[in-house]
Amino acid sequence: MRTACINPKRINQARLAADMSQADVAYRLRQHGHKATERSIRRWETGQHAPHANIVPVLADALGISIDELYESTGSDDDEEDEAAVFRRIAHQLIDRDQGDIAADLLNEVRLMKARRQERVS
């Protein structure tokens, strides 16, 4: 099953705009026959995981936005954060293709990027 490369921040923004909890979103997805939990919604919002492509239309409907809006940029100027999000999505696609070793290396690089950014801030 293919994962969708949606913008994780858009899920969070849309959910908050709709005044819904993560549990509310998960419940709406379960009503349509998808296995979703509060934990899965949290992981999607943080970019740790991505929803499968077949869930995206129902997710957009549950959040009250269009599918295209889930793919839009959040307008963030933080290029490194956007780059890290792209790497995480690629890693999840690699995992779906049984390329776990490459995905682990990529996710490790994301952790290093985050650590370097935090060092510059402090």
- Residues 16-38 have pLDDT tens digits of 999 999 999 999 999 999 999 99
Q: How many domains does the chain have?
A: 2
pLDDT for residue 48: 86
Range of the domain at 85: 79-121
Dump pLDDT digits (tens) for 1-11.
455 578 888 99
d(CA 21, CA 43): 14
Residue 19 lies in a domain: yes
Residue 112 lies in a domain: yes
